[in-house]
Amino acid sequence: MRIGILTGGGDCPGLNAVIRAVVRTADGRYRSSVVGFRDGWRGLLEDRKVPLSNDDRIDRILTRGGTILGTARVNPDKLKAGLDQIRQTLDDNGIDALIPIGGEGTLTAAGWLAESGVPVIGVPKTIDNDIDCTDVTFGFDTALSIATDAIDRLHTTAESHQRVMLVEVMGRHAGWIALHSGLATGAHLTLVPEVPFDVAEVCDMVKKRFQRGDSHFICVVAEGAAPTPESMTLREGGIDEFGHKRFTGVAQQLGAEIERRIGKEVRTTVLGHVQRGGTPTPYDRVLATRFGVHATDAVHRGDFGQMVALHGTSIELVALTDATRHLKTVPRERYDEAAAFFG
Ligand SMILES: Nc1ncnc2c1ncn2[C@@H]1O[C@H](COP(=O)(O)OP(=O)(O)OP(=O)(O)O)[C@@H](O)[C@H]1O
Ligand SMILES: O=P(O)(O)OC[C@H]1O[C@](O)(CO)[C@@H](O)[C@@H]1O
Ligand SMILES: [Mg+2]
């Protein structure tokens, strides 16, 4: 068998571990070969690929962040218009099955290829942890560790200066990184995209904390968090060429508003892409490796149109259509758990 593999959407620690696991399992268990398409769906549209051999080089990518295949975003309409080209590339390269590794966009495209008859098994990735039907995605644990370390450090400097510190973490539609890093570091407030915040309430919380004699205030803000429309207006950033909302820096704008309203000194840190770079944690290496092994097994069983997923401690398959119907956002009760520690 000849398997095609690609990585789509934002990169994520653990992508290389999946690629390695697919190559090793395909060769070692089934004597199958693997071809990597470069830069996500673009590689399939432009027939740019690289053969991946089960050798020492592939073995060493286990611990490396990023993706050796490169990744890219392609406007979904252009992708849809390129379906015939994608089929042609798969035919020209004798590809029997495709393993796309990506987030909700890549997996939606994978589901849509599967419906049109292309044999596909998806692998979910994202630091945001917002893919439904899997307990967790690899990349999340690494991003959470990086955010936790950064916020721990902000606590000590905030305390020394009696400051309000806002720290913006990634989380476009889902506040998992914010929720967990806030809980792990004992943040005094966490703002997530799922629950609009009221600026007056935030200011009140900050004021009360300092009135009580506490030394500092740490607030974790997901990049996709937004105020209630009546409490504050965020700058508009529009939509980029791939259909994604452009963020304008919610933490920085909230910080300015807190300073203006209550005169407290505020500092803002935006962690940005640091959260996505570098070596995956052991947890993410293991999960990514298991996903790669199970995706390769599924391909050889002919279980197509599905995605590997973690359920408890087992790796199982779920239909791509089910996994991409909704994003896995933070449920209100999970946010309320964290709220017990606010203020
Ligand atoms: N609704 C869709 N239908 C078909 N293809 C899509 C759709 N949404 C996204 N895609 C394709 O999948 C690619 C990757 O999607 P996207 O940029 O959202 O990254 P992702 O895989 O969701 O990862 P991330 O977590 O970084 O968002 C897009 O550039 C586009 O080519
Ligand atoms: O790398 P880019 O295109 O700036 O994408 C950033 C987005 O990708 C993610 O890291 C993963 O979806 C989001 O948290 C973030 O908004
Ligand atoms: Mg996406």
**From the CA of 128, which ligand is nearest?**
2
Spell out a b/e string for 2-29, using b for 16 or more CB atoms within 10 Å of the CB, else e.
ebbbbbbbbbbbbbbbbbbbbbbbbbee
Give phi and psi for 265, each to the nearest 5: -75, 125
Instruction: Tell me the average pLDDT of the chain.
Output: 97
Q: Find the mean pLDDT for residues 132-154.
A: 98
Residue-range domain boundaries for the chain: 2-126+280-323, 140-276
| Cα 93 to chain centroid, rounded | 30
Task: Please tell me whether 230 is known to bind a ligand.
Answer: no
Overall average pLDDT of the 77-94 stretch: 96
214-256 pLDDT tens trace = 999 999 999 999 999 999 999 999 999 999 999 999 999 999 9
Q: What is the Å distance from ligand 2's center to 94 Cα? A: 33
Q: Tell me the average pLDDT across 38-62.
A: 97
Split at pLDDT 50, 70, 90, the class of 338 is: very high
Span 271-304, pLDDT tens digits: 999 999 999 999 999 999 999 999 999 999 999 9
Confidence of residue 177 (pLDDT cuts 50, 70, 90): very high
Active-site choice (39, 128, 132, 284): 128
Task: Take atom 15 of ligand 1 and give the residue whose Cα is closest.
Answer: 105
Q: Is 11 a catalytic residue?
A: no
| Distance of alpha carbon 227 from alpha carbon 253, whole angstroms | 10
Q: Side chain identity at 55, as an amino acid letter? A: D
- Ligand nearest the Cα atom of residue 83: 1
Question: In percent, how much of the chain has pLDDT > 90?
Answer: 99
Distance 7 CA to ligand 2 centre (A): 14
Whether residue 308 contacts residue 123, with contact meaning beta carbons closer than 8 Å, is answered with yes
Cβ of 126 closer than 6 Å to ligand 2, yes or no, is yes
Instruction: Specify the ligand 2 atom closest to the Cα of 247.
Output: 16
**Any atom of ligand 2 within 6 Å of the Cβ of 10:** yes
First and final C-alpha spacing in the chain: 58
Would you tell me how many other CB atoms lie within 10 Å of the CB of residue 160? 10
Same fold, 2-126+280-323 and 140-276: yes
pLDDT score of 144: 98
Q: Is the CB of 174 under 6 A from ligand 2?
A: no
User: Which amino acids bring their CB within 6 angstroms of ligand 1?
Assistant: 8-10, 41, 73-74, 76, 79, 102-106, 108-109, 112, 126, 128, 242
Q: What pLDDT does 175 receive?
A: 98
pLDDT at 153: 98
Ligand nearest to the CA of 224: 2
Considering only CA atoms, which residue is closest to atom 10 of ligand 1? 105
For ligand 1, pick from 73, 120, 125, 136 the residue to mutate: most ligand atoms within 8 Å of CB.
Answer: 73
Ligand 1 nearest atom to the CA of residue 78, by list position: 31
Instruction: Provide CATH code, domain 140-276.
Output: 3.40.50.460
User: What CATH number has the domain spanning 2-126+280-323?
Assistant: 3.40.50.450
- Ligand 1 atom index nearest CA of 242: 29
The token pair that represents 8 in the structure block: 């789509």
Tell me what pLDDT residue 37 has.
Answer: 98
- The predicted structure's pLDDT at residue 337: 97
Cα of 105 vs centre of ligand 1, distance in Å, is 3
| pLDDT at residue 191, as a whole number | 98
Reading the block at residue 72, the tokens are: 């890219």
3 state SS of 70:
coil
235 burial type by CB count under 10 A (0-12 exposed, 13-18 middle, 19+ buried): exposed
User: Locate tokens 């994604």: which residue?
Assistant: 244
Cα 236 to ligand 1 centroid, rounded to whole Å: 22
